[in-house]
Amino acid sequence: MPQPGPGQVRVAVRAAGVNPLDWKIRRSAEPDGPQGTGMELAGTIDALGPGVGGWRLGQPVFGQVATGAMATHAIADATRLRPKPDSLSYEEAAALPVALETAGRTLRELGLEKGHTLLIHAVAGAVGLAAAQLAIERGAEVIGTAGERHHDRLRALGIHPVAYGEGLEERLTQPIDRVLDASGRGELELSVKLTGDPAKVISIADPAGAARLGVRFSSGGGPIPPAGDVRVPVAEVFPLERLADAHRRSEDGHYLGKLVVNTEALLPR
């Protein structure tokens, strides 16, 4: 059983979000010994490390960890957690941490303002959906690329969907002020052309393309902003023993929202 150090808490994990980074790390190199996966979770505080205040045992939380969220118990820095709203299930809360933090950070770095039109490549993913909802809350108009089977659900969120792929420029009928690339499939050159300025484009998925075109590549992990009314749909839930299947489904892509692993069946009663 992992033990929390100074400033840390142990979380009894109820649900954990699946990220492409999980399987990318797994494929990139052979780790030195056993290594967990998963960087976002929701659960209850199970133990407090030295010097931790403001939290209580049994308190429902959600947030980010360095690694190892795909387990019954995980260690988290207390500052990277937030109280879980009663309005969210554990699975819904586990879908939010990375998407909320990334969306808030990239919109801030883009300088998005009321009245702007924001184009999001891959708006049907967790980050794209969170960013779209935050942008709409700020008074921006959001256009997003996505597969046509998702368009009706995107319209219901106030997003103007367009099909991705060849001919995208012709399908965009209004000026674009800012672009968030959450896709990484070669859209950056067109994005710079649409905005007229690489400083008005940001990518979280194409570091090589960003470096070549002078576009900002955003990464890192700051504090999670308040969830507010932002919701990321849970596309599919896997039990912990099917974690490999969840990784494969993530690698396959083409789903709306977030994949989540539920660990409750393996927790002590």
Predicted confidence (pLDDT) per residue in 38-56, tens digit? 999 999 999 999 999 999 9
Q: For the CA atoms of the chain, what is the radius of gyration?
A: 19
| Confidence at 81, pLDDT banded by 50, 70, 90 | very high
3-state secondary structure (DSSP) of residue 33: coil
How high is the mean pLDDT of the chain? Answer: 93
Q: Is pLDDT above 70 for 269?
A: no
Distance, CA of 88 to CA of 144 (rounded, Å): 26
DSSP character at residue 166: T
H runs (alpha helix) in 138-199: 151-156, 168-171, 188-195
Distance, CA of 263 to CA of 149 (rounded, Å): 30
Q: Where in the chain is the domain with CATH 3.40.50.720?
A: 99-217
Taking only the tens place, the pLDDT of each residue in 138-154 is 999 999 999 999 999 99
Instruction: Give the number of other Cβ atoms within 10 Å of residue 87's Cβ.
Output: 10
Segment 248-256 shows an average pLDDT of 89
Segment 162-178 shows an average pLDDT of 95
CATH of domain 99-217: 3.40.50.720
H runs (alpha helix) in the chain: 20-28, 90-94, 97-110, 126-137, 151-156, 168-171, 188-195, 207-213, 243-252
Per-residue pLDDT at 10: 97
Listed residue (205, 145, 146, 164) closest to 24, CA to CA = 205
- Assigned superfamily of 8-95+233-266: Medium-chain alcohol dehydrogenases, catalytic domain (3.90.180.10)
Distance, CA of 107 to CA of 99 (rounded, Å): 12
Per-residue pLDDT at 60: 97
- Which residue carries 């967790």 as its tokens? 126
Percent of the chain at pLDDT > 70 equals: 97
Lowest mean pLDDT among 172-176, 218-222, 226-230, 265-269: 265-269
Per-residue pLDDT at 134: 96
Q: Where in the chain is the domain with CATH 3.90.180.10?
A: 8-95+233-266
Q: Is pLDDT above 80 for 29?
A: no
Per-residue pLDDT at 208: 96
Segment 18-25 shows an average pLDDT of 84
Burial label, 102 (beta-carbon count in 10 A; 0-12, 13-18, 19+): buried
Percent of the chain at pLDDT > 90 equals: 82
- Which residue carries 């219901």 as its tokens? 156
